[in-house]
């Protein structure tokens, strides 16, 4: 099908964009890479009255490193992240997650800001950003806000962004070079929506105990899930096979992923446990090599 | 309505279009280039893949107004002359890498860019690069063979 008619603006600056959002509010939708919004519009599941296309705002397409922190402009394409050697070396979890996003044609056009604002619980990037304790820079005529992942992601396809607010950048804190990371997911075909997945970042002290760990799950609930109980159990202890098994079991305690024709709730819980186990095993292996 | 000018296969195509017009429809209806096919119209099948400034994108997931001033390549621009095929097209022809041909333009646009980035790919890499294009005839085996044959000849 074809999209329903809409009015269209293509501002050249962030200031112009937030002016339009302030003026039209609820009526409009921001068009970033369009790889999720346009399919919904083609099916007429979404019928925004007005699109504010931010593809022409050059300042939003920049990747910067400031004081060791990675700043991804909202319009940075997935392919830009995928091809960046600097990101692969210093924020490997982002690189490992992004290669799972859709197909190459989608990654050429899709943006990091779009993935966040779309807030699909099966999306890779929000999950990785939750594991990395990323911050989200938001701007409107009312002023700037900086949100944590648990403040921006509210529920399925729902963020705390107000209609007049624009997500401008994603900030990722520096990562300890000895940290081991892993991103694993299971989809029926690569590029499909994942039935379950896990992002792990773990740092080991010299004596082999876990000094820091983050475990985030995708397709595990209405928004990215941080497996806090699993993290608590791992911190400070030796991370051997038994500890990984225990933590993975703890990670899926109390989860209620949706049941659908692709997989029952029981199946998905089991899958998430296996994904967590694999991600932890891989990340610990890398961290052990790096700590040595 | 908006006035746009898009460079398609080296030719500037102008039009006055509604913002909701998809890039693929502009290519087919305004530019008259019907080699770009719409299959699913939601970014899954890959049949409508064209190149935007050299990079494969779905022409069903972009509005024509967004291509104003940009460079688009479609399957019609591949062959160097009316009597000669692009090495990738020639290899597809010889390897029987297509049957009905509906998906082929999208696959060619994807693989042309892929071979520029990876001139000597393994069969596994070719399969991974093909993941965003569905073909219901060939079972993909001959597509992989065709891409590999083209890679050998283009070295």
A39 touches B: beta carbon within 8 Å: yes
Domain that holds residue A14: 7-53
**Domains, chain B:** 2-77 (3.10.20.30), 87-154 (1.10.150.120)
For the beta carbon of residue B18, count every other beta carbon within 10 angstroms: 15
What percent of chain A stands above pLDDT 90? 93
What is the average per-residue pLDDT within A265-277? 97
Chain A CA closest to residue B110: A105
Out of A6, A35, A51, the one facing B43 most closely (by C-beta) is A35
Residue A33 lies in a domain: yes
pLDDT tens-place string over residues A43-71: 999 999 999 999 999 999 999 999 999 99
Burial code (b: 16+ CB inside 10 Å, e: under 16) for A95-121 equals bbbbebbbbbbbbbbbbbbbbbbbbbb
H or E element: which one contains B108?
helix B104-117
pLDDT value, residue A290: 83
User: Which residues of chain B does A192 touch, with a Cβ-Cβ cutoff of 8 Å?
Assistant: none
Are both A221 and A142 inside the same structural domain?
no
With a threshold of 0.85, tell me whether the complex ipTM lies above it: yes
Alpha-carbon distance values, A73 to A21, A84, A286, B31 (Å): 18, 14, 29, 34
Does residue A24 sit in the same domain as residue A69? Answer: no
- Computed over every residue of chain A, the mean pLDDT equals 96
Chain A residue at shortest CA distance from B117: A83
Test the A interface: residue of B1, B18, B28, B43 with most A CBs within 10 Å: B43
CATH code, A113: 3.30.465.10
Nearest to A42 among B46, B60, B110 (CB): B60
| Total tally of structural domains belonging to chain A | 3
Q: Find, among A233, A252, A230, A226, the residue nearest to A131 by Cα.
A: A226
Give me the CATH number covering residue A33: 3.30.43.10
pLDDT of A197 strictly over 90 = yes
CB pairs under 8 A between A and B: 83
Alpha-carbon distance of B60 to B64, in angstroms, equals 10
> Do A44 and A13 share a structural domain?
yes
Smallest Cβ–Cβ distance between A2 and the set B20, B52, B56 belongs to: B20
Contact A2 B128 (CB under 8 A): no
Residue B4 has pLDDT above 80, yes or no: yes
A190 CB neighbours in chain B (<8 A) are: 128, 131
Task: State what percent of residues in chain A have pLDDT above 70.
Answer: 100
Q: How far is CA A287 from CA A56, A182, A211, in A?
A: 41, 10, 11
**Residue A164: inside a domain, yes or no?**
yes
What Rg do the C-alpha atoms of chain A give, in angstroms? 19
Kindly tell me if the per-residue pLDDT of B8 is higher than 80: yes
Residue A191 has pLDDT above 80, yes or no: no
Q: Is A267 within a domain?
A: yes
pLDDT at residue A80 tops 90:
yes
Alpha helices by DSSP H, listed for chain A, are 14-24, 37-42, 78-83, 85-90, 92-98, 104-107, 112-118, 124-131, 149-152, 228-234, 241-251, 265-291
Give the mean pLDDT of A228-248. 97
A242, part of any domain = yes
For residues A263-269, give the mean pLDDT: 95
Phi/psi for A206 (5° steps) reads -60, -35
Q: Would you call A38 and B61 a contact, using CB atoms and an 8 Å cutoff?
A: yes
pLDDT for the residue numbered A193: 86
Phi, then psi, of A217 in degrees rounded to 5: -120, 145
B7 — pLDDT class (breaks 50, 70, 90) = very high
Same domain? For A65 and A35 the reply is no
Instruction: Give the residue from A99, A91, A128 showing the smallest Cα distance to A224.
Output: A128
pLDDT of residue A76: 98
Does A292 have pLDDT greater than 80? Answer: no
Per the prediction, chain B carries an average pLDDT of 97
Residues A184 and A241 in one domain: yes
Sort out which chain B residues have CB atoms less than 8 A from A42's CB and list them: 22, 41-42, 60
User: Choosing among A4, A7, A54, A103, which should be mutated to test the B contact, i.e. which has the most B CBs within 10 A?
Assistant: A103
Alpha helices in A25-136, H assignment, sequence order: 37-42, 78-83, 85-90, 92-98, 104-107, 112-118, 124-131
**pLDDT reading at A189 higher than 80:** no
**Does B35 have pLDDT greater than 90?**
yes
Which domain-ending residue is among A172, A191, A226?
A: A172
A99 with A25, same domain? no
pLDDT of res. A132: 98
Cβ–Cβ of A103/B20 closer than 8 Å? no
């Amino acid at each position: 099908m074809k999209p329903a008619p809409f009015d269209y603006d293509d501002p050249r600056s962030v200031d112009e964009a937030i002016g339009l959002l302030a003026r039209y509010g609820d009526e409009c939708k921001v068009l970033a890479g369009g790889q999720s919004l346009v399919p919904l519009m083609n099916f007429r599941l979404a019928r925004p009255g007005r699109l504010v296309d931010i593809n022409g705002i050059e300042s939003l397409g920049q990747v910067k490193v400031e004081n060791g922190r990675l700043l991804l402009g909202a319009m940075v394409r997935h392919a830009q992240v995928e091809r960046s050697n600097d990101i692969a070396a210093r924020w490997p979890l982002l690189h490992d997650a992004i290669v799972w996003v859709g197909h190459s044609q989608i990654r050429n056009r899709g943006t990091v800001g779009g993935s966040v604002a779309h807030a699909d619980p099966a999306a890779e990037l929000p999950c990785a950003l939750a594991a990395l304790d990323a911050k989200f820079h938001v701007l409107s005529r009312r002023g700037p806000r900086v949100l944590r992942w648990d403040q921006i992601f509210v529920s399925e396809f729902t963020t705390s962004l107000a209609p007049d607010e624009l997500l401008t950048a994603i900030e990722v804190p520096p990562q300890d070079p000895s940290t081991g990371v892993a991103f694993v997911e299971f989809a029926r075909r690569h590029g499909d929506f994942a039935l379950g997945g896990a992002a792990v970042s773990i740092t080991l002290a010299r004596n082999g105990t876990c000094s820091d760990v983050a475990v985030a799950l995708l397709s595990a609930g209405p928004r990215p899930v941080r497996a806090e109980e699993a993290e608590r159990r791992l911190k400070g202890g030796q991370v051997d096979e038994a500890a990984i098994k225990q933590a993975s079991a703890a990670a899926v305690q109390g989860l209620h992923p949706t049941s659908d024709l692709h997989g029952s709730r029981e199946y998905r819980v089991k899958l998430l446990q296996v994904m967590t186990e694999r991600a932890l095993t891989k990340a610990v292996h890398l961290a052990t090599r790096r700590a040595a | 309505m908006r006035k746009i000018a898009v460079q398609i296969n080296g030719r500037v195509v102008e039009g006055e279009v509604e913002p909701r017009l998809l890039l693929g429809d502009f290519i087919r209806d305004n530019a008259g280039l019907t080699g770009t096919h719409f299959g699913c119209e939601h970014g899954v099948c890959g049949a409508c893949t064209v190149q935007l400034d050299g990079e494969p994108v779905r022409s069903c997931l972009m509005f024509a107004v967004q291509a104003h001033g940009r460079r688009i390549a479609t399957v019609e621009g591949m062959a160097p002359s009316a009597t000669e095929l692009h090495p990738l097209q020639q290899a597809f022809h010889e390897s029987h890498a297509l049957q009905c041909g509906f998906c082929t333009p999208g696959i060619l646009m994807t693989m042309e860019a892929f071979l520029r980035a990876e001139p000597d790919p393994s069969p596994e890499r070719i399969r991974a690069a093909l993941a965003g294009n569905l073909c219901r005839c060939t079972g993909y085996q001959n597509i992989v063979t065709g891409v590999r044959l083209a890679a050998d000849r283009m070295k």
